[in-house]
Structure formats: structure tokens, C-alpha cells
Structure 1
């Protein structure tokens, strides 16, 4: 296709497979090939050619989605970044590398400005934040006043600092909160020789970010993540509905259902401590570990769950973050549904700064593992990440400046795409929800020492992969540099055919091979049905939901659901079938149906097996997706799974 024009901004010329090249480092590159006709008087921008598929095999075809298609452009406008405060810090904990201790520095000039006088005295104190083991929360200890240059005691992990007028503690100059990464020397015997070296692993997570949406809303960050050493897993497909099952698969190799059956009931106190999370294996291999997540009320292992009794990792940000949420002012921007600022800073910065400090403290001298996860700016609105493009890019650039990429494998990831909102109404909505962003960086020394693993990861970029493969990759990393006769770590329990991304995956892999349930599989197309007969399916699915609530003894408090209307019903078309052939009725087939219920207009999306003769619907209710928020509908139940399907009688609005 030849295009002529002035300042063209077309996003889609035609859909052909991208041309592939390999750079000097052996990294796979893709060149967007487009043809334009230029004249001396016309300014023409480069026209992009988009691929047809992320994955293209006889068993799996995951379509590529143009992030700037006409449906998206009709509703999407990038948002602008907002700062929380123009005020600099009055008190800052500074790590003294000679002493290997934190020293509190007071900005005396700022204090004079805030008091509007150099003659008025002021005092500063801190509250030490300690972990409340019984509730996976925090306690704060009594005030401890300090002066300039105070050396923070080594046992202190978190502080809320306050400065106030000398004779009036209600006249506050500034509140602030800090997590501090107190230094612990490495154990003897740590080797940095390539053959014996264990790579550090840094997991940088953003909730609800699809690989489509990162291209749309964070183009600068996306461009950075496609640089040398980075590998985008374009065939990465989620295995569960929300954060918990997807992170459980990555971090434990289990689905929540299997973990509950084989290990313990994670709804009970102490169970999460017994589940074999990856950080336990990391600790056993001399890794130092850290974990942090913002929005403590919806944290992955605490929302509708008891959390951990024992502190799960060596450094754990939850107690401090809960304290910051309590003691510091919170603010939501005009478009925000979640807390945008805590105190002077962006909510997620408390977690990402915690991660940055942890990495900087140790990455040059020992293997470390860290998971740093943010929900606050991405969970509820797919557009919000556009506010944060420069902000997230800066963290990547800081990591690069600090030499982190020289040492570490970094995994930049999400759990799933957007699960609510207008974006799910697009033709691409099904893919948006099921294809999370996943980028893996390999440091230069790793690529040089393990060329076969690098080549496999490169090939696997456009092959079907899942959370279970990533779990096996983490186990594989732990085993590197170990003794040849050391025992192999157990691989993912719930996907026997899954293996490390450092081994080449079968190009003809199926969702079943990768441990991806049918409801979340993006490999095989579905065709929309136009006849009325398919309307028989949705009411049967609603009956199953009502039966589910009844079996769980929730019918007294949860409304009986009835059909409002059907958005659409689709039938699965196997890849060997001709998608465009006339549809003939099948006795038994797999369908997807999206429908709205009464009361309260909740939307659901179900994948079912339907027998057209007996009219029997076979569906696992707990795989049915809720595609509208349940926050206001399910206040009468505490179980997270039940919340998806319960419209509390006390919350009925229509």
C-alpha cells in the first residue's frame, strides 16, 4: 500500500508479519516495514506495518491488536502527570556508606521557610513502625525526638517523621514516611564468577496492564523495554481471573484451588506461611529477599485473606505502607478512584523507592530477589497508566544508572489486563483482559555465559507461554551456579508440561499444554452467533450461579440473579475449521456468552460447554468472569470468590 500525504499519522497500513533481524548481542529485533512515497514539498512520517499475530502456529493463533485502532481512539485521551507536592523533604534518611547506617538529615533552610522565621525553635521526632505479626499489619512505638545527624538504630525498618513548632506540637511543619533498608553483610562463600554466579531477580509489577495497553498508554516505557537485552513474551497468556491466581501460579506453581486441596486452606491463619513461595527457595539458595505492594487494603495476600503470620521475606514493606496510609494525608486526583498521593509523594513511589533502595544496597555483592508491585495507578482505569509513562521510565533509567542491569535479571510484568470499563466493550476486549505485559531482561554477562538460554528465550517470545513457565524459570535461575549433582527443585505442580523459558518451547503448544484454562485461552477464535437459539445458554449459566450461591449458604443474603439481556454469544471455531463457513448447529460445542443480570446490572462473561440436544450447560462457576465492579454490590460477604457473584440484598439499587 502506497500512501502520500502531509504529516501522516496513520497507525495501520496493512497487517503482515514483521521482518526479523538479530543485533550484535544476539537479540531479536523487529522492524516495522512500511512503504511511503515522498516529495520535496511534503513531510511524511514513517508508516507502521503491524503483524497479524503475537503467536502463529497450527495450534495457537493469538491475534495482534493495534493499540490505536479506531474504537480506542474514539474514547481514549492520554492523561497528564500530576505532582503531589512542590515541597522538598524536611527530614531525609541518608545512607552513610562508610558507617553502613542511616543518618537523619534535617533541611534547616526549609524549616526556616516553613516557620517564616529563623528565630523560632522546632522539634522533630519519629515513630518507629514495627510489624504486627498477628494481623500482618503494623504497630507504632512512642515518639523519639532527634536532632541533626541522628544515627537511626539498626533494628528500625520504618519511620514516620514529624517536625513541629517547639511549644506547639499541633503546629506541624511536615509529616513524612520512610522505609529503610538496613544493611546486613553477605554470608561467606558468595561467588561472582560467571559459572558459579546466581543472577539477582527483580520483579517490577504493575497491576492490570495488558501488552496492548502498555503500547497505547506508556509508549516511552514500552520503547525502553524493547531495547537491547530485553525480551517481550508476546505469547504470554494469563491462567486466572484476577491477581491472586496469576501471582500464585508464578510464585508457587499452584493454582489457589490445588494449593487449598493439597497444602492448606489459605483462608485460615498461618496457611500462607506453609505454601512453598519462591522466596523460600531463594532464601535457601543464599538470596536476600524483599517484597512490597501498595494499596494495602487490596494487597494480593491480604484482601479477603488473613495474610502472613511470619514475615515472608527479609525485607517486607507492608507494615510501613499501612502506617503511611494511616498517618499521612491521602489525596485522589480528579480522575482517580484510588489514592494517588500519600503525603508528599505518589502512592506507588513508597514501594518502588523501597525496591530501588533494596537493589542499590545489595546488588553488587550478593544475589537478591525482590517483588515490587503497584495497584494504585492502574487497577481501576486503563487510561491512568498514561499519567505515569515518564514516571515509570525514570525508575528504569535510575536502575540503569545505578548499574542494576549489569547484574540482574529484571522481569517487568503484570498479572492481567483491564478487567472492567469501556475497553472491554471493544472487539479486542477479550484479548486486552487475558494478555498481560511481560518483559524479561538478561544482563550482558548472563547472555555471554548462557547463549543457549538466551537463544531459547528469544525463540519463546512468539510462542505460547504462561505463569507456570515463569515459575519454572525462577526455579531454573536458583539452580544456576549450583553443584552438578544437587537435587532439582520441584517444577510447577499444576502444569506438568510447563518448563523454564530458558528451554525452547514447542511451537505447536496448546493452552492445555501451558496450563491455561479454556476460559482464558486466546489461541483459538470464537465466532459471534446471530440466531436467537443461542440465547438459551445465558439463562442456564445464571441458574448455575444461583445454585452456586445456594450451595454456599448465601441465598439468604445474596439476591437471586435473573437475565437482563445478552451482550453476545460466540461459538468456538477450531483452527482446522474454516472460520467463514456457514454455521451448522452442533450437538455439543464450546461457547462464550456475555450477559447482564438483574439486580444492579452486573455483567458476566462465561465459557461453557453446551449440549444443544439436552440443553445442559457444563461450567465451573468460579471461572465465570465478573466484568463490572462488585465493590458496591457485595459488602455482605467476605469471601473474595463469592463477592464476584453475590448481589447483596442490602445493596440492591434497582
Structure 2
């Protein structure tokens, strides 16, 4: 036998050699097939040894491949793996551009100094060829008329410089011929109603101020792309904690900010949202621990404001400093500097950018109550709500603002929270898969003063770990509330619950945390990487039609005005199979690789569908269950849950 094998011709040898020699160059499909064939054909010891070696190489290669996949996640614990998205992913390259809105480059004719006195800017007056002594000027204080209107008090003549007794006021000046050469709204943060004069509590090492800077529609990736200077400063200079596992809990602004400011879901306040004013909402700044804080709520874009868009606003002013009357007053008339300026827009008020105005009001408030306890909440819509390509314009103004906070000492005893509510969700980028993932992963960065970290060194350790864990606005509310109550004792709770659980960011957050524990609904949960399936797959038409049927049910009462929709096509389809929710060992993955189990299509499907007429795009999520009772009955289908997420 040995002699017979030794006498094997060269023509016979190649029949078996390629099976053991060329595996490294094969596709995964061919490699699996080749391994099985080789097991059957490699009979002698030498070839079995080669096969074992190649099998070991295959296992190690597969293990390395799995490790590579793991590195693509910020949060890499089961059951939640939040993807590490590429901000410059090729699939969104067509949407990564920059547009610029410019306001008229004109110098201001009047300014308000740091003591609150209004005066002419004589350099600007000479530029305009105006003799200020020839002007007759009057002012009218802006009065809030509940929450959706303002009125101007009767005009009073002034001789500048003058301290006008009002937070906001309109100034109008005429020349000798009676022509209006100046008409503008100004703000005076130095003015303080006498009834608030006793709220003057200093900061200390146990009681802290809280500063919020919010940017609408800014995902974590969007900030990296468009606010590079600001992000670098927050991270490298202020040493803030960048929470990469921060996930949204609602579709748009209010469902995400309501939990931040109340600790509860918007669904827990149905009457307030539809029928009542917002005054009774248990907003964070109204808690008893903040009664000694000077409070500020600044928000631009009054037409889409947080408590006013499809809501009824406040009867009483919600905070001591409230910017909404200023926004409404600016929209009342067209400003004038020598001649009428362009109409007021969401970008510009006269020669000023809207974001510069609100940031200046924020600065003035902080300086007015320097070293005092303050609670300041600023929410910006204008930078990025309407346009995906405009956020970059806010990079330098925001950078300057954070410079100001540091070098004026406002962060010595303050917690700073910079955050967004969600990513961009109005067409364009949101029609891509990466864009929809970004939508669920907004930006969050937190600053903690060094004095607090020196007192409790474990805070830094936990924040570093938690910055890569799943967190939400419920956790921010819990953290701020605990700090205000001076609750700094170390706590651990490694359990994961089957209901929403708010967790302090200073304490360890379980690696195994789920979306249910964090308060994130399934349709916003980005804990599992979905698998792209072909839009023409036999399942997608079934699921797409189911989504359209449910849209039509929502539109039934509007059939007089609306056509019945029909499915035109499935634009995009992705699925998270139930089997993905279980963590498999390396051996189990390799065993499934060699012998794939029978396909079970049960899972959570996310489809983007196009409907006719009008070719509208909708995204729907369907939980699809598939099972076999017996071989004769075939497949039975159950749709467990379904959401129509957005018209994109």
C-alpha cells in the first residue's frame, strides 16, 4: 500500500491538493463548501493535519473578523450595541454641504453698555452721516400679553445716555424733517423688577449653578462635522464628558425635552398638551431646591417654541428672565437703521444674526448674577432646525460663548450641559439609513467642576465609563435633581429593569442596560445593527402593504380631503432578526457558519415606503412573527406591533 501510494503519478496528485491548498483565496460560501468536501476526501494523516491547521486558521480569522465588527460600536455590550457612525459616510456625501445666510453688514447706531445704559455709537453715527444731537428719540417698554403677544407701552421721550426701566423696549428716532432713521428693539439684562431683589444667593462648593445649551436637530455626527472648533474646545479644554451612547426617547423636540425638564414622558401630561396652559407642569427649575436660583429660559423662533407650538404656552412668565417677549417684539415691525432693513427672518433681525442676539442675552444674564446661584436653559432652533446645511455657522459664536464661560469664571461652581434633542429628520439626509441612525443619536456633553470631582473622585471614573453606556434625558433629569438635593452618596445598581428607570450619570450604569430600562421605545432603539434586505424580497411587499393599510386607517376621517394611498415601492428595508438578540459564542457562530439553521424571518422590520399619489415617503416599523404549527400548515404570520414613524 505504501509503495502504491508512493508511486502515485504527478497527474494524480493535483486531484486532492487544491482542496487543502487554495482555501485562503476562496469566498466564505466556497470556503464552507470546501471544508466539508476536504473532510471527506483528505484520508491520510498528512492531509488531515493540513485540514486541521487550515480549520484553526479559519476559526482565528473568523474570530478576528468578529472582533473587527465589535470595534465599530461605541457601546459594545449586549443587549445594546450602539454603532460608531462615520460622520462622513459615503452614503450621505451628497447631503454634506454648507450654506450661508448673511445679514446686512451694518454697524449698530445704538448700544446698551454693561451697566444697562442705552447710548449712541458715535463712530457708527459718523459712518452714517448722522448728527445725533439733531435726533428726537422715544422709547416704549415691551409688555408681555400672556404668551403669544406683546404690546408696547406709551412712548416716552429720552435724552441719551439713559437707563430705560424695562427688560425689553423699542427705540425710535426721527430727524428734523420727521423721517424715521432708527427703529429697533433692545434688551436690558441689568433691569430687575424690585420683587426679585432678594433672590441673591451665592454659589459655594456644595450648591451649584446649572447652565444648559441646547441645539435643535443636531446628532452626535452632525456636531462632529459642523462644530469642530466647539467640539474640540469642549473636549480638550473644558474636559467635558462626551456621551456617545446618548439616545433620543421621542420623535421631535417636545417628547425629548419634556422628560429632561419634568422627569416624565409627555404621554403623562395629555391634558396639558391639548387643553391647558403649561404653568402646572412640574418643570425642573420650579423644584424647591431652585428657589434661591436666578432663572432664565431663552428660546428663539417663537412660532415653533417648545411650549407654544401646537400648545398653549404659559399664563405667567415661567422664569425670572424670559426671552420670548423679545422675540415677539422683534417680529412686530421692520427695523430701521437710516433706511428700512430687510424683513425680519429666522436668521436675521436687521443687521444681527438671531443666534448672536440670544447668546448675548445669555451672557448678560450670567454677568448680572455673577457668582450667584443660577439656572439657565437656552434652546436654539435657528442654527439647524430648518436647514441641515447651516449648523456650521454657529461654530464660532458657540466657541466664543464657551470661551466666555471659562475665562469669566462662570464654570467654577457650575454644571454645564450641552445637548440636542435628536438628529436631522426633515427629508434629505433622513431618507438614508445612516441619516436615520443619526436621528436617534443626538449630542450630549457634560461639564463637572473640578471642585466637585476633588470631593468625590469616583464621579470622574463613573462619568468616563458611562460616556460609553446607553443614556437618555431621563438620566440627565435624575442627575440634575440629585445634585440640587446634594445627594452625592455613592450608589450602585447593577440590575436592569423591565420598566423605565432614570439613573444618575454620576453612578455606574449597567453594561447590560436595555432600551426598556432607559425609557427608549422600540422604534427609536438603536441597540442592534439591522441587516439590509433587498427591497424586492418577498417579505417586503407584504410588510409594505401592511404599513400603507395602517396609514390609510389613520386617514379614514380625512377621506374627503385625502386620497387613499397605495404602495408604489419599498425604497429601503432593514431587519433586526429575533436571533440577533441572543449573544452567540464563537463556536456557535462557527457552527452556524458551517451548517446554517433553518431561516426564521421573525424580527423587527424598518421599511421606507413610497406611496401614490404624490410619491410621499413614509417610514414604518413592524414587528413580524413567523412560526410553523406543522409542516402541512405552512407559515402563519402575526404582526405584533407597528409604528408609522414619520413622513420623511
**Where on the TM-score scale, by shorter chain, does this alignment land: which range?**
0.7 to 0.9
Aligned residue in 1 for 2:176: 166
1:339 aligned to 334, 346, 365, which one? 346
Q: What is the distance in 2 between the residues matched to 1:338 and 1:586?
A: 54
Q: Is 1:212–2:226 an aligned residue pair?
A: no
- Aligned pair partner of 2:397 in 391, 400, 403: 391
Secondary structure, in 3 states, of the residue corresponding to 1:439?
A: strand
SS in structure 1 at match of 2:311: coil
Match status 1:501 vs 2:505:
yes
Once the 2 structures are TM-superposed, how far is the Cα of residue 570 of structure 1 from its aligned partner?
Answer: 1.9
Change (3 A) 1:141 1:453: same
User: Which of 126, 129, 137 is the aligned partner of 2:139?
Assistant: 126
Q: 1:187 Cα deviation (Å)?
A: 4.4
Aligned counterpart, 2:516: 512
- Using the TM superposition, name which of 431-440 and 382-391 deviates more: 382-391
**1:501 counterpart SS class:** coil
Shift of 1:145: 2.1
1:211-250 equivalences under 5 Å are 211-227=220-236, 228-250=238-260
Which residue matches 2:85? 65
- Flag the 1:309–1:452 CA change in 2: closer, same or farther, 3 A: same
CA drift at 1:245: 0.1
- Aligned equivalents of 1:307 and 1:148: distance in 2? 36
* Counterpart secondary structure, 1:95: coil
- The equivalent of 2:357 in structure 1 is 350
What residue in structure 1 maps to residue 604 of structure 2?
A: 590
**In 1, Cα distance between the equivalents of 2:126 and 2:447?**
46
What's the CA shift for 1:514? 0.3
Report the counterpart of residue 92 of structure 1 in structure 2.
111
- Distance in 2 separating the partners of 1:507 and 1:420: 33
Cα–Cα, structure 1 residues 571 and 402, in superposed 2: closer, same or farther, change >3 Å?
same
TM-aligned CA distance change 1:94 to 1:505, over 3 Å: same
Q: CA deviation at 1:340?
A: 1.5
Q: Work out the CA distance in 1 between the residues paired with 2:161 and 2:294.
A: 29
Pairwise CA distance, 1:281: 0.9
* Distance of 2:255 and 2:451 partners within structure 1: 33
How far, CA to CA, are the matches of 1:275 and 1:212 in structure 2? 33
Cα distance change of structure 1 residues 233 and 597 upon mapping to structure 2, 3 Å threshold:
same
Report the CA distance shift for 1:51/1:86 in structure 2 as closer, same or farther (over 3 A).
farther
Q: After superposition, where does 1:535-550 map in structure 2 within 5 Å?
A: 535-550=541-556
CA distance 1:151–1:459, shift in 2 (3 Å) = same
Counterpart for residue 614 of structure 2: 600
8 A contact 1:246–1:467 mirrored in 2: yes
- For the residues of structure 1 that align with 2:186 and 2:197, how far apart are their CA atoms? 28
2:304 aligned with 1:298: yes
The aligned counterpart of 2:158 is: 146
Alignment pair present for 1:475 and 2:494: no
* 1:610 CA drift (Å): 2.2
Aligned with 1:159: secondary structure?
strand
- 1:189: Cα distance to partner? 8.9
Q: How far apart, CA to CA, are the structure 1 residues paired with 2:612 and 2:131?
A: 65
Q: Is 2:78–2:583's contact at 8 Å kept on the other side of the alignment?
A: no
The secondary structure found in structure 1 opposite 2:184 is: strand
Give the number of the structure whose residues are more often helix, by fraction.
2
Deviation at 1:591, TM superposition (A): 1.4
2:434 matched to which residue of 1?
428
Shift of 1:445: 1.7
Aligned position for 1:19: none
Secondary structure of 1:319's match?
Answer: helix
Alignment of 1:260-279 (within 5 A): 260=270, 264-270=271-277, 272-279=278-285
Distance 1:548 1:585 in 2: 34
Structure-2 change in CA distance of 1:288 and 1:119 (3 Å): closer
| 5+ long unaligned stretches in structure 1 | 1-49, 97-101, 331-336, 485-493, 629-654
Distance 2:358 2:477 in 1: 23
CA distance in 2 between partners of 1:66 and 1:72 (Å): 10
- The whole-number CA distance in structure 1 between the counterparts of 2:200 and 2:145 is 34
Preserved contact between residue 338 and residue 376 of structure 1 (Cα < 8 Å): no
- The question of whether the paired residues in 2 share the 8 Å contact of 1:379 and 1:418 is answered with yes
Partner of 1:175: 184
Worse overlay, 210-219 or 121-130: 121-130
Tell which deviates more after alignment, 105-114 or 561-570.
105-114
Q: Distance in 1 between matches of 2:239 and 2:553?
A: 51
TM-score of the pair, normalised by structure 2: 0.78
Shift of 1:419: 0.4
Quickly say closer, same or farther: Cα 1:583–1:212, change in 2 above 3 A. Answer: farther
Is the partner of 2:308 in helix, strand or coil?
Answer: coil
Q: What's the CA shift string for 1:253-302, capped at 9, x where partnerless?
A: 22211222xxx3421132x2111111111665422211111111111111
Q: Deviations over 1:69-110 (max 9, x none)?
A: 333445423445x552332222222232xxxxx221122443
Q: Give the Å deviation of 1:119.
A: 8.6
Change (3 A) 1:620 1:265: farther
Aligned equivalent of 1:307: 313
Q: What RMSD, in angstroms, separates the aligned Cα atoms of the two structures?
A: 2.9
Per the TM alignment, residue 68 of structure 1 is displaced from its structure 2 partner at its CA by 2.1
| CA separation of 1:545 and 1:424: change in aligned 2, threshold 3 A | same
Following the alignment from structure 1 to structure 2, what is the Cα–Cα distance between the partners of residues 319 and 593?
43
Contact 2:189 2:368 in 1 (8 A): no
Of residues 553, 573, 580, the one that matches 1:569 is: 573
Point out the structure with max Rg over C-alpha: 2
1:564 shift after superposition: 2.4
SS of match in other structure, 1:369:
strand
State how far apart, in whole Å, the 2-side matches of 1:600 and 1:445 are. Answer: 59
Q: 1:77 aligns with which of 97, 113, 116?
A: 97
Shift of 1:555: 3.7
Verify the 8 A CA contact 1:90 1:174 in the aligned structure 2. no
Contact 2:203–2:209 (CA under 8 A) maintained in structure 1 = no
Tell me the TM-score normalised to structure 1 length: 0.77
Please give the alpha-carbon distance, in whole angstroms, between the structure 1 residues aligned to 2:624 and 2:121.
Answer: 69
CA distance in structure 1 between the partners assigned to 2:289 and 2:317 by the alignment:
13
Q: C-alpha distance in 1, partners of 2:111/2:599?
A: 70
Q: Deviations over 1:602-647 (max 9, x none)?
A: 22212221244554434454xx32253xxxxxxxxxxxxxxxxxxx
